[in-house]
A and B are shown apart, each in its own frame.
Chain A
Amino acid sequence: MKRMTTSILCTFLAATLLAGCGSNNNTGNAGSGEGDKAVTEKAKSVTLKMFIAQPRFKEHYDKYIADFVAKEKADKNIDVTVQLEMPTADNASQILKTRLASNDAPDIFAIHAVNEIPSYYKAGYLEDLTSQPFAAKLLDSVKPSVTTTDGKVVALPLETLTWGYLYNKTIFSENGLTPPTTLTEMKAVVEKLKANKITPFVLSYKESWIPQLVLPLAVGGMMNTKDPEFVNKMNKDAASFTEMKSAIFDVFDLINSNGTEKATEVGGDDGAAVFAAGKGAMWLMGPWYAETILKSNPDLDFGVAPLPINDDPNATLINLSASTSLAVSPTSKNKDVALDFLNYVLDDEASNAFFQSLKFNPVATIHTYESYPWINDAMTYVKAGKSVQDPAMPQAVKDEVGKGLQAYYAGQLSQDEVLKALDKAWKSFNKVNK
């Protein structure tokens, strides 16, 4: 009996192996078949290497690339073979850096727009894409994220973020509240919530990138009103974070003194669960946690609103930035085809469905699909001009502020010490990147 089972299993295994080979052979044959045909028409064949660290979207990319290959064949009679590499996001940037440093750059690769473009551009790994047709289609709110300081578009944004803080719409409407536009109004909202025995804020500071979120909002707001040259001045070592002191800490203190307890033990996922359970009315967080929130409470009605940092309503702004973006290597041997692909990503007809299936936000004028309610909330603010580009602060400063604000919350650092550490981080960034 046992031998019987074994032999059946063996047969099955062998069969699957053969089947696997079979399907490979089939595709191989099909490919060479097309190749034969192409030879008669003297088609050019080209291999395009792509490096996109989003394995969760593999099917979508595969399908879109297949469409592109068909289009390229039809339009220009080029046989394109695409080698798509999709490592996990954790080690992708390490792999990519190794490739670039060893002159083995993929033709098209994905990088983080705000964090990585400056250093990659400086090292000469990004092709200038300003004159490409797609650049003209980008939304004005998105374009600055992929533009270098000297005004060149060097990447195509795929994922964009529009965020401020999240609020529980049900709690707000039950208490007759609307998102406040100034800090005084915010204080009134907090008082009203407290009077009705509702904790105003969910705090989750275990991971240092969460308290860090207050900095882009504060600096963005200030740069749009009183201090437009802040980042430029900081890059020249000519300013200090003390200018931002009240912008950062007035609202941060308000949030901290009216939040849930044990914040240093609550991470992002736990915070999402607390917020989804309605244990706090607001949460300093972007809509990228929407999926997690809806998983623990599918009926939660929440929205995105800009965080007030002082009593100037013009400083209460939604933050706009881009993350995953596609860039082309200047050393690519098939640059024309690579550029064709980038333009195809924002193709007038095909692009809409692609971005919608990936659940990305609209990035170009040609995107007309319906997005999520919370994205629409944010876009309403953006359309009303209540938005600001994510200030181009060095990653080191963002890391430092997360650690600093964590320590500030735990009572280990004073406000001035936090600001001093930020100044130091920016100075050392200037020194390293001279």
Chain B
Amino acid sequence: MPVKSYKKYISLLAFVGPAFIFYAIFLLIPTVAGMYYSFTDWNGLNPNYSFNGLANFIEALREDPDFVNSLLFTLKYVLFMVVLQNVLALMLAVFIESKTRTKGFFRTIFFMPNMISTIISAFMWTFVFSQVLPQIAEKTVMKFLDQLWIGDPKYSFYSIIIVSLWNGVGYMMIIYLAALQGVPQSLKEAAHIDGATPFQAFRNVTMPMITHAITICFFLTLNGAFKVYEVVYGLTGGGPGRSTQVITMNIYEEAFSNNFRYGYASAKSVILFVIILIFTFIQIRVMKKKEVEA
């Protein structure tokens, strides 16, 4: 028996090894090093630095209103994105699934924006917001379109949401489509025969059957929304001022532009890491419980 289990580990190592080495060198070691630096006052250049315990963490949460504001802004963004992205994606998926002949066409159309890189779609939309919409407002009577879509903090949040949704919904839609196709036809027919309305059938038959997809999509959107950077960078650059600054931008600014406080910025990243960890952990635990097998 020992020989056999030994062999098992050998083959496991042989398969996992190469990938794990790269993973360790390029992700694991830097992550651990980053956590190590979060307890120091290193400035990214000076060979001498010293440990300062939890001072970085305390300063970030207590004395740094910009960081806290960016954290709140990110949370607001996460809330909007997780809800809207999943609702829209599911609606689109159900809509497409109900078509027979044009299914392929719509699927392609809605997935298309996802194939454009985020930063490019942000630049495209910058043009739409700053040039196209004001022109439309001028030519038609829709005066409400002539706003400072990306220059005014009141509207720029919604501009960011619009672009993120435009870019991200397609991918989630594909996942939901796959899940919807996996719902057994027999269950739906049985519900139909029992006299369930289409809405009842969707709520009580389809939804439970696609919970695993909902878990995945929630996980992906939650994770992605916390780490948002390109869209905001491309649209507003965090401005005007810091009104649309997300947490990743705040970290970048701290590490690479302000006072080059690498240690302090690492502490902020660790805080972000912990937040994401907690949120996704709770989410997975809660959603896993609701999954059912056909």
Contact partner of A264 among B240, B242, B259, CB < 8 A?
B240
CB contact under 8 A between A412 and B45, given known A263-B151, A395-B258, A396-B258:
no
Contact partner of B240 among A94, A205, A399, A400, CB < 8 A?
A205
Q: How far is the CB of B155 from chain A (nearest CB, A)?
A: 11
Q: How far is the CB of A376 from chain B (nearest CB, A)?
A: 34
Contact partner of A394 among B43, B45, B238, B259, CB < 8 A?
B259
Please state if A432 and B259 are interface contacts (CB–CB under 8 Å). yes
Query: Which A residues are in CB contact (< 8 Å) with B44?
Result: 97
Task: Pick the most buried of B41, B45, B47, B150: most chain A CB atoms within 10 A of its CB.
Answer: B45
Q: Mark A115-132, 1 if CB is under 8 A from B, else 0.
A: 000011011000000000
Please state if A399 and B151 are interface contacts (CB–CB under 8 Å). no
Please state if B151 and A262 are interface contacts (CB–CB under 8 Å). yes
Query: Which B residues are in CB contact (< 8 Å) with A119?
Result: 43, 45-46, 260
Q: How far is the CB of A268 from chain B (nearest CB, A)?
A: 12
CB contact under 8 A between A433 and B259, given known A206-B151, A262-B130:
yes
Indicate whether B241 reaches chain A with its CB closer than 8 angstroms: yes
Interface residues on chain B, number (Cβ under 8 Å): 28
- Which residues of A87-143 have CB atoms within 8 Å of chain B's CB atoms? 94, 97, 100-101, 119-120, 122-123
Query: Which A residues are in CB contact (< 8 Å) with B129?
Result: 265
Selecting from A66-74, A190-198, A401-409, the interface stretch reads A401-409
CB contact under 8 A between A208 and B239, given known A394-B259, A396-B258:
yes
Indicate whether B237 reaches chain A with its CB closer than 8 angstroms: yes
Query: Which A residues are in CB contact (< 8 Å) with B150?
Result: 264-265
CB contact under 8 A between A207 and B240, given known A265-B148, A394-B259, A395-B258:
no
Indicate whether B257 reaches chain A with its CB closer than 8 angstroms: yes
Indicate whether B153 reaches chain A with its CB closer than 8 angstroms: yes
Interface residues on chain A, number (Cβ under 8 Å): 35
Please state if B152 and A123 are interface contacts (CB–CB under 8 Å). no
Bound state CA distance, A340 and B147, in angstroms? 59
- Which residues of A409-434 have CB atoms within 8 Å of chain B's CB atoms? 409-410, 412-413, 425, 428-429, 432-433
Please state if A97 and B45 are interface contacts (CB–CB under 8 Å). yes
Please state if A399 and B45 are interface contacts (CB–CB under 8 Å). no
CB contact under 8 A between A413 and B241, given known A429-B259, A432-B259:
yes
Q: How far is the CB of B47 from chain A (nearest CB, A)?
A: 6
Question: Which residue on chain A has the smallest CB distance to residue B44?
Answer: A97
Instruction: Report whether over half of chain A's contact residues are helix, strand or loop; otherwise say mixed.
Output: helix
Bound state CA distance, A101 and B42, in angstroms? 12
Contact partner of B241 among A101, A122, A123, A410, CB < 8 A?
A410
Bound state CA distance, A263 and B44, in angstroms? 35
Indicate whether B253 reaches chain A with its CB closer than 8 angstroms: yes
Bound state CA distance, A122 and B43, in angstroms? 12
- Which residues of A356-407 have CB atoms within 8 Å of chain B's CB atoms? 394-396, 399-400, 403-404, 406-407
Bound state CA distance, A400 and B239, in angstroms? 12
Indicate whether B261 reaches chain A with its CB closer than 8 angstroms: yes
Query: Which B residues are in CB contact (< 8 Å) with A97?
Result: 44-45
Q: How far is the CB of A420 from chain B (nearest CB, A)?
A: 11
CB contact under 8 A between A264 and B239, given known A394-B259, A412-B153:
yes
Query: Which A residues are in CB contact (< 8 Å) with B149?
Result: 265
Q: How far is the CB of B79 from chain A (nearest CB, A)?
A: 22
Contact partner of A407 among B46, B148, B241, B261, CB < 8 A?
B241
Contact partner of A399 among B41, B43, B47, B258, CB < 8 A?
B258
Query: Which A residues are in CB contact (< 8 Å) with B258?
Result: 395-396, 399-400, 425
Please state if A264 and B148 are interface contacts (CB–CB under 8 Å). yes
Bound state CA distance, A404 and B148, in angstroms? 19
Question: Which residue on chain B has the smallest CB distance to residue A264?
Answer: B151
Please state if A406 and B259 are interface contacts (CB–CB under 8 Å). no
Bound state CA distance, A206 and B149, in angstroms? 12
Query: Which A residues are in CB contact (< 8 Å) with B43?
Result: 119, 432
Query: Which B residues are in CB contact (< 8 Å) with A429?
Result: 259
Please state if B240 and A412 are interface contacts (CB–CB under 8 Å). yes
Please state if A123 and B46 are interface contacts (CB–CB under 8 Å). yes
Indicate whether B114 reaches chain A with its CB closer than 8 angstroms: no
CB contact under 8 A between A406 and B253, given known A262-B130, A399-B258:
no
Query: Which A residues are in CB contact (< 8 Å) with B152?
Result: 264, 410
Q: How far is the CB of B132 from chain A (nearest CB, A)?
A: 12
Please state if B47 and A412 are interface contacts (CB–CB under 8 Å). no
Question: Which residue on chain B has the smallest CB distance to residue A207?
Answer: B237
Bound state CA distance, A263 and B239, in angstroms? 12
A-B contact pairs, 25 of them (CB 8 A): A94-B256, A97-B44, A119-B45, A119-B260, A205-B240, A206-B151, A206-B239, A264-B148, A264-B151, A264-B152, A265-B129, A265-B130, A265-B151, A395-B257, A395-B258, A396-B257, A403-B238, A403-B241, A406-B239, A407-B239, A407-B241, A410-B153, A410-B240, A412-B240, A432-B261
5 more CB-based (< 8 A) A-B contacts, given A97-B45, A399-B253, A428-B259:
A101-B45, A101-B47, A406-B239, A432-B259, A433-B259
Using CB atoms and an 8 Å cutoff, list the residues of chain A in contact with chain B: 94, 97, 100-101, 119-120, 122-123, 205-208, 262-265, 394-396, 399-400, 403-404, 406-410, 412-413, 425, 428-429, 432-433
